Each structure stands twice: as structure tokens, then as C-alpha cells.
Amino acid sequence: MISTRFRKDADSVGAASAHKDRFGRIESAGIEFIPDEQRTSRPRNLFTVFFGGNFAFSVIVFGWLPITFGLDFVGAATASLTGLLVGTALIAPMALLGPRTGTNNTVSSAAHFGTRGRLIGSALTLVFALAYAAIAVWTSGDALVAAAERLLGIPVDGVTLAIGYAVISVEIVLVALFGHGTVVAMQKFVAPVVGVLLLIGVVAFAPTFSPTTVHADYLLGDFWPTWILSAVISVGGPLSYAPTLGDYSRRISRTRHSDRSVVTSACLGVFLGLFVTALFGAFTASALPELGGSYVADLVKSSPAWYLLPILIIALAGGLGQGVLNLYASGLDLEALFPRLRRIHTTLITSVIAVGLLYVGVFVFNAVDSITAMTLVLNGFAGPWVAINVLGFLIARRGKYHAADLQLFRASGPRGRYWFSNGWNLRAVIPWAIGSVFGLLATDTSLYTGPFSQLAGGIDLSFIGSTIIGAAGYLLALRFWPEPAATRESAREEGEHVLLSNHD
């Protein structure tokens, strides 16, 4: 239960910002508590945001990757399906944190990792968001420039690519700065428009499609190691949304909408959006005569002339939808790291960082190798973090949270029931760290090979190993090192008073 005083003050805070949560108005709310009465979103918005937000070349490219690894269409499709099912099942309970805590998932993770331990999730999510935002700009910028070359004869070189990336970056940053209401409204436009264009793309490339086309030798020398690698990479899609779910579910009222509707809408949006785009990527890659270093460049080169305009629209609208999701999330996560900053300021900062990562990944390293390495390494860190949060939700907290205590990182007084050991819950932090180290040591990419990468004869164990280690370690810690009883109610109420004074 949240105290009456906290609820009354929180209502005034929410009332001051909720009227701005609409299309075309800059959202003033950041990671602070949003009271139930001010939550006007609906579960169907979760589906729209995460379904439409995946209709971008930066997501489609993950369906293309297995084909570049040497799999045929069926192998790529089944690997993607398996990975997405596993990933979506793992993150499902994460959709329920926001409605219970009134804030985003990284701040909510303080209930499991500790008030300071929440910084692990904030940092991890920030890296995820920045990386995927950079990929969105890269793929959409490539499509924009490649299409301009065929339509207008503009050469593809470093200058034109830089301009293309800048155009995509500007549109993404502008929408992300407006915030939640504008993001949701924009996705309602992106989903149907880009969805129809992708269906038209199936018709465009159907004449040259062959399900048995193989463009390369198996990346890891044999079918199953390569298939498992592809499945592990696919798991990264849902995992990357685990913290982001709370950015939108926190605005859904628990009194008006059921847990089932929230989970169903979020999971269907994530899974269907990722699977549809993975199929499109694998389908079109199998229809291309040859594969180069850029999926969208090859797509534009082999596309019928009449489909070039749809590719341009997908690049602009789809890149906008995916990039905005990540930049908006990155702004919230940086605010969690530096709570004195406002969301609009942190979004601007992360936008600059994301664009910088883009140019490093494209012009300094091989972009495809960068994507593969980034996904595998981040999966190894994200897997145990998600598993511990899910187990914490189901077992340690049983779905019950104290929203006021989650916000005490802003206060300088009492620390609340989630302070644990100097702000860190070592029962969660230590298993996460051990699992993450294993994931890093078991990773095998063209940019980095860990010493444990051959434990299973080349089969990638980084994600499943790190997740199992983190989950098992956390369960053992809860069993043999029980958490202390909740802090005294009087101390919690005093903490709420300090927190609310800061809000004033």
C-alpha cells in the first residue's frame, strides 16, 4: 500500500504532467511515480507500440543475418521462431512491473537488486537502447541513400551516407523528445502503413525467392551450431524490450485493465512484430542473387523499380518507429542514472551518443560483425538480469511493490526497504555478475572469442548458460540467505515525507 500522503502528493505531480501526455505536446514526466488516476493508456497501445515499432530495417536485418550465416529460409525461420518464443516467454512478467510500481522497469528493479543496484539495469538498458538506435539509423540511412542512387543517380560514398544518417537521426530525435503521447500516436500510423508495404515487398521479391537458396558456408562449420547461434541472436530481440515494457505499461491503470490483458498485448506485439520482420528479412535475403555487407543496399540493388518508393517510405517511417522506441527508452534510463537531469535533457545527450556509436560501427568496424558481437555480448548480460527480475517478481515480491520506496534514490534521508546492503541486494547482484562473466567468457564472434566458447563443441552457450547461472544463483541465495524483514513502517513513512518534500 502507498500511504495517503504519498498518493495525494503524487496525484498533484501527475496532474501537472498528465495533460501534456498527448500527441504534439512535450512530455514532462520522467521516471517519477505516475498515480493510477493519471494513467490513461490502454493495453492495446502496448501492442501497437511494440508491433509497429519493429517494422524497420534495423529489425528486419536480424532475419537476414541467419542467411548470411549459411542457413536456408526454413533454417533461418525456425531459428528465429525458437529464439523469439524463448525470449518472449522470459520477458512476459516484466510487462506487469510498470502498472504495479508506476515507473519504468529499471527503477522497479531496485526491489530486487537494491536502490543502488537498479543502476545495473539502467546501464544495461542504456547500452541496449543506444546500440539498437544506432542500428536503426544505419539501416534506414543506407536504404535512403541506396534508393536515392537508383532514383536520382546520387553516388553512394562517405558524404552521402553521412547525410542520410543525419536525416534519419533528426526525425528520430525530434519525435523522441516529445515523449510518450507522440510516440504512441506515431506508432499507430507506422504499423499499418509499413505493414502493408512489407506485404507488397513479398510480392515484389516472390519471383526470385527460393526456400533452398544458400548464400554461404555454415558460419560455425555445421548446421546445428550455426542454427543455435541464430536462435540465440533472436532471443536478443525480446530481451532488449524487457526494460522498455515499463516505459509504456506504467501508464496503464490496474483498476481498469487486467494483468492478462497487459501481458497478452505486450507479448503479442513484441513477438509478432519481431517474427513478421524476421520472416521478411529471411525471405528477401533468400530472393537476392548475392549478399554483400549491407542488407538494405543489396535489397535496393535487386528491387523492382516500382518498389523503390515503398523502400524509401519504410526507411523513413520504419526507422522512425524503431529509433524512437530506443531513444525514448535511453533518455529515461540516463535519467535513472542522473536523476537531477530532466528527460528532455537526457534524451538529447543519448541521441548524440547513439549517433556517435553509429559512425564508429559503420566507418571504423564492419557493421555486420558489430551487430553480431553486440547482440551476443548483451544477451549474456541481459539474460541473468531479466531472469532475476522475473523470479523476484514471482517469488520474492509475489507481485507486490512499495512505489514510494522505489523512488527514495532521489532522497537524502531514510533509504527504505530496498536499501539492503548499502543500496545493493547482493543476493541478486552476485548471481547476476557470475552469470554475466560466464556469458562474456562463452561468447564467440568474429570480433571476440571467449575462452569458454568451445565448451559445447562450438554451440553458443553464452545466453542460456548466463541465464541459468543467474537464475539458479538467485534462487539459492533466497533459500539459504533470506532477505531481511521489511523496514519499519515509520521509517518508510519518513522516507516518503523526504521524497515528497523534494517533489515540492
- Please state the rounded mean pLDDT for residues 206-223: 92
The 3-state DSSP class for residue 367 equals: helix
Whether the Cβ atoms of residue 182 and residue 337 lie closer than 8 Å to each other: no
pLDDT in the model for residue 6:
41
Q: How far apart are CA 213 and CA 120, in angstroms?
A: 43
Q: What per-residue confidence (pLDDT) applies to 372?
A: 67
Q: Are 335 and 31 in contact (CB under 8 A)?
A: yes
Handedness of CA 213, 219, 223, 226 (dihedral sign): negative
For 224-286, give the DSSP string: HHHHHHHHHHHHHHHHHHTTTHHHHHTTB-TTTS-HHHHHHHHHHHHHHHHHHHHHHHHHHHH
What is the pTM (predicted TM-score) of this model?
Answer: 0.85
- Stated length of the chain: 504
Q: Which CATH class is domain 32-368?
A: mainly alpha
Report the alpha-carbon angle 80-82-83, nearest 5. Answer: 65
pLDDT surpassing 70 at residue 486: no
**pLDDT, tens only, 123-143:** 888 888 877 788 888 888 888
The pLDDT assigned to 109 comes to 96
**E strand or H helix that includes residue 501:** helix 489-503
383, three cell numbers: 539474460
What's the pLDDT at 1? 40
**Nearest CA to 311 among 272, 284, 276?**
284
- Please tell me the distance from the alpha carbon of residue 415 to that of residue 471, in angstroms, as a whole number: 27
Q: What is the pLDDT of residue 88?
A: 97
Q: What phi and psi values does residue 269 have, to the nearest 5 degrees?
A: -60, -45
Region of poorest pLDDT, from 85-94, 257-266, 436-445: 436-445
Percent with pLDDT over 70 in the chain:
88
What is the pLDDT confidence band of residue 238, given thresholds at 50, 70 and 90? very high
What CA–CA distance (Å, rounded) separates 211 from 275? 17
Longest dimension (CA), the chain: 72
Where are the domains positioned within the chain? 32-368
Q: What letter does residue 422 receive in the DSSP assignment?
A: T
Pick from 189, 216, 408, 490: nearest CA to 313: 189
**DSSP conformational letter for 220:** T
Give the confidence band of 366 by pLDDT, cuts at 50, 70, 90: low
Q: pLDDT tens digits for 192-211? A: 999 999 999 999 999 999 99
> Which of the residue ranges 13-27, 174-188, 368-382 has the most confident prediction, judged by mean pLDDT?
174-188
Which pLDDT belongs to residue 503?
Answer: 42
How far CA 355 is from CA of 34, 146, 312, 437, 442, in Å, comes to 31, 20, 21, 28, 30
258 by Cβ neighbours in 10 Å (0-12 / 13-18 / 19+) ranks as exposed
- Burial (CB count <10 Å: 0-12, 13-18, 19+), residue 153: exposed
pLDDT of 268 reads 97
Secondary element (H or E) of residue 325: helix 319-337
